[in-house]
Structure formats: structure tokens, C-alpha cells
Structure 1
């Protein structure tokens, strides 16, 4: 798929390579084709305010920043800045001025946003147990025609049978994602589709 999509720019390619060097944690990064899609959808919405929940090594924030309208910004958040890769690549891309990185629990970050902030596009890719809570906080801010993008919604297929997931965090996340998917699908204020990209990507548009 990547070969027949727009070619990766050198900064994105470097970020993918550097993240891969982390080993197992690199599985948390969005794939290259999804990064391209994030840029495209951000651009199509004419976004000036983008929210990125789950920064990791910075690819999703970088991708959304590339699609912003002039004067736009990405607010991205994570519980840690330990990876040290994100800021380096944002600077290489010349995008540090439009990416606002906030370290701390995402629920606190979202609750601290100005009451009058209107969001054009939001991407969820953090702890799965809180997806519904993130959605409840973001939905009122999302403008009509705005997009909510949600990663890992298929969860290796375990959303179809959560009890088959390994006990503990995996099973809890599978149940949380299955419940969240049902909540979002039932929300009549949203048009929703799940795309079989990577581990499942929901694209939802507020009516």
C-alpha cells in the first residue's frame, strides 16, 4: 500500500526508522499509510484546531500538522516525553511552532482546554479504557462537519469476542473498545465507519 501512495518525506521516513529501533514499543506507532491518511483528512477538513490524544514518538501529530490550514495548530498530549524522538523530528520538519505538546494525563489535558475552543479534527490513540471518556469530552467541542478518528478499534479482532483476549489489560481493553464502538455507532449525531486499516480505524463525522 505504501508503494502506491504518496512517497514519504525524509522526516517521516526518519521518524519511522528511529521508532522501529525502539523494538517492541514501536508497535504503538501508527503505520505509514495511516500517517498519510491523517494528513489528507486534516487537510480536507480545512482544520485549524486538531487534537491528538496519544503522542508517542510524534508521528500522528507531525502528520496532522502537515495538513493544517494556515494559522492552525495541533494540541497533542501524552503521559510521558521519555522517547525524545518527537520534538527532534517536529523541529526538522519546521513544525514546532504549530505543535503544542502537553505532558500529563489526557483527561486532564482535555478538561483544561478553553471552554470556547472549537475542534475541527481529533485523533484518539491512547489508553483504550478511556476512549469513551475522551469522546464525551471531545464531542461537544467538535464542530459540525468535524472528524473524530479512532485507532485500534478492531483490536486484533478481539472486539468481536473480548473474553478470548488474554486476561488483564488486553481483555479489559477489548471490552472497553467493544463498548465504545457500540456507543459511537449508536450516536445519531455522528456518521460512523470503521475502516480495516492496520488494527482498525474509525472515521466519524459530526453532523
Structure 2
């Protein structure tokens, strides 16, 4: 017999409950609303934009961790970049990597309007090459991975050594619309499933998967105080 202690506490996220949860987040600013609308106008690619409640979480995590040196893989139209930059102090910096100047031109206008353009270092080109060009020693306080799914493990391996002890690593789309839970997952879902297994087995970090939007992994890089801990 299943005891009450073993019963799942997860609440089924109905459309009504999802809207209620969204309404509890700090509302978007006029600049954020404008960026949402400009991104929606792109059509199908707009699905790549993170939802506003996730942006609020990114800003909150940045502030809570005191992150000043941030790296993001996958800029798109810059909504997540904006959220991260808003969480940094005036002398903070967000390096963000993407391939598309068309989409990031929209992002740059939003960053300027929000007064954080001086905190954002946009690097166009292959993200793997950008990461390999970074200093080898730990220099980052927080990273956010939200790009091509087959490269997630490579990005992770490039970034973990470069995050300071106690720093945070975030990865988006780790549920991949629920498909990552299937052992027979294919395509991007299979890549995400492999990434999730990789993170779970990585003893350099402690991690939890959150059911935020399409799934968000939140990991902390272990430091010397964690020695001997599970």
C-alpha cells in the first residue's frame, strides 16, 4: 500500500492553473511586452522565446547568486539575455552567443531600450568556438544553455570547468515537451535525454530538474565545502 509520504505532490498543470501561476510573476515591463510582440511577429520561430515567468526566475536567480559574469548559449531575440542582464549589477556582464544577426538585431534594440546594452557582449558565430576561446580558469558565475540540443553535452563540458565553485549552470528544454522521458526518444528529444543522464552522473555538480516551462535544470558547481558530501 502506498503511504501518504510516497504520494506525489505534483499538481496537474491545467490551463487555468497555468494562467494563475503566470499571474503571480512580476508583470513584464513595456519593453518586455514590446519584445514579446516583435518576437511573435516572426511566426513559428517565436516558440524559441522563453516564457515571461521563466525570465522572472532567471533575473531572480542572477540576483540571489550575486552573479556578475554570465554566459548564455543561444540568444534568439534576447528575452532571456535581457532577464539575465537585469539581474546583474551595473558592472556585470553577459556574454551571449548566437548565429543569427537578424534575430539578435531585434535583441539589441530591446537591450538598449532597457538600459542594459552596456552589460551585454554579443558574440556571433559557432558557440563551441566561442566557448573554447574563453580562459581556462573559472571565470563565470552563471551560465544558461538554450541552443541546439545535440550540442548540449559539449556546451556543458566546455562550461563546467569555467564556472567558479558555487556558481550556477542552467539548461533549458530538458523535458522537451515530455518526449525526453521516453526511453525510445528520437532526434532532439534523444539528445536531451542523453544530456539529462550526463548531468545526473556528473559529480562536479549538484542538480535538480524543475518543471518550469519546458523543463529547466538548475545545477550548482560543488566547492571545497562539499567534499565528502553525497
TM-score tier after normalising by the smaller chain length = over 0.9
1:176 maps to: 191
User: Shift in Å at residue 187 of structure 1?
Assistant: 1.2
Answering whether residue 103 of structure 2 is matched by residue 88 of structure 1, we say no
1:141 maps to: 162
Q: Is the 8 A contact 2:166 2:220 kept in 1?
A: yes
Answering whether residue 29 of structure 2 is matched by residue 14 of structure 1, we say no
User: Shift in Å at residue 162 of structure 1?
Assistant: 5.5
Q: Is the 8 A contact 2:146 2:172 kept in 1?
A: yes
Counterparts of 1:37-56 in structure 2, within 5 Å, are 37-56=57-76
Q: Is the 8 A contact 2:59 2:83 kept in 1?
A: yes
1:125 maps to: 146
RMSD (Å) for aligned C-alpha atoms:
1.2
Q: Is the 8 A contact 1:58 1:87 kept in 2?
A: yes
User: Shift in Å at residue 114 of structure 1?
Assistant: 2.6
Larger radius of gyration: 2
Answering whether residue 87 of structure 2 is matched by residue 77 of structure 1, we say no
Query: Which one has more relative contact order, counting CA pairs under 8 Å at least 6 apart?
Result: 1
1:65 maps to: 85
Q: Normalising by structure 1, what TM-score?
A: 0.93
Q: Is the 8 A contact 1:162 1:174 kept in 2?
A: no
User: Shift in Å at residue 172 of structure 1?
Assistant: 2.1
User: Over residues 86-125 of structure 1, what are the superposed CA-to-partner deviations in whole Å (9 max), with x where a residue is unaligned?
Assistant: 0110110111111000000110111111334511000000
Runs of 4+ in structure 1 displaced over 2 angstroms?
114-117
Answering whether residue 19 of structure 2 is matched by residue 4 of structure 1, we say no
Answering whether residue 47 of structure 2 is matched by residue 27 of structure 1, we say yes
User: Over residues 58-94 of structure 1, what are the superposed CA-to-partner deviations in whole Å (9 max), with x where a residue is unaligned?
Assistant: 0111100000134110000101111231011011011
Aligned length in residues: 201
